[in-house]
Chains A and B, each alone.
Chain A
Amino acid sequence: QLQLQESGPGLVKPSETLSLTCSVSGGSMSSYIYYWGWIRQTPGKRLEWIGSIFYSGYTYYNPSLKSRVALSVDTSKNQFSLKLSSVTAADTAVYFCATDYYDSSASYRYFDYWGQGSLVTVSS
Chain B
Amino acid sequence: SYELTQPPSVSVSPGQTASITCSGDKLGNKYVCWYQQKPGQSPVLVIYEDTKRPSGISERFSGSNSGNTATLTISGTQATDEADYYCQAWDSGTVVFGGGTKLTVL
Residue positions of A touching B, CB distance < 8 A? 39, 45-49, 60, 62-64, 96, 101, 106-112, 114-117
Contact = CB atoms under 8 A, between A and B. Distances in A.
B38 to A, nearest CB: 12
18 contacts: A45-B100, A47-B35, A47-B97, A48-B97, A49-B96, A60-B93, A62-B95, A96-B42, A106-B31, A107-B30, A108-B30, A108-B31, A110-B33, A110-B49, A111-B88, A114-B43, A114-B44, A117-B42
Nearest to B32: A108
Contacts of B43: 47, 96, 111, 114
Nearest to A94: B42
Given A108-B89, A111-B43, A49 B84 contact: no
Contacts of B96: 49
B28 interface: no
Contacts of A96: 42-43
Question: From DSSP, what is the main secondary structure of chain A's interface residues?
Answer: strand
Chain B, interface residues (CB within 8 Å), range: 20 to 34
A89 B88 CA distance: 25
B42 A109 contact: no
Nearest to B41: A116
B95 to A, nearest CB: 4
Nearest to A114: B42
B95 A49 contact: yes
A96 B94 CA distance: 17
A47 B35 CA distance: 11
- Report which residue of B48, B49, B90, B99 has the largest number of chain A beta carbons within 10 angstroms of its beta carbon: B90
A108 B49 contact: yes
Greatest chain A CB density within 10 A among B31, B33, B93, B94 is at B94
Contacts of B10: none
B42 A49 contact: no
A23 B105 CA distance: 36
Contact of A110 (B45, B94, B100): B45
B97 to A, nearest CB: 4
Contacts of B54: 112
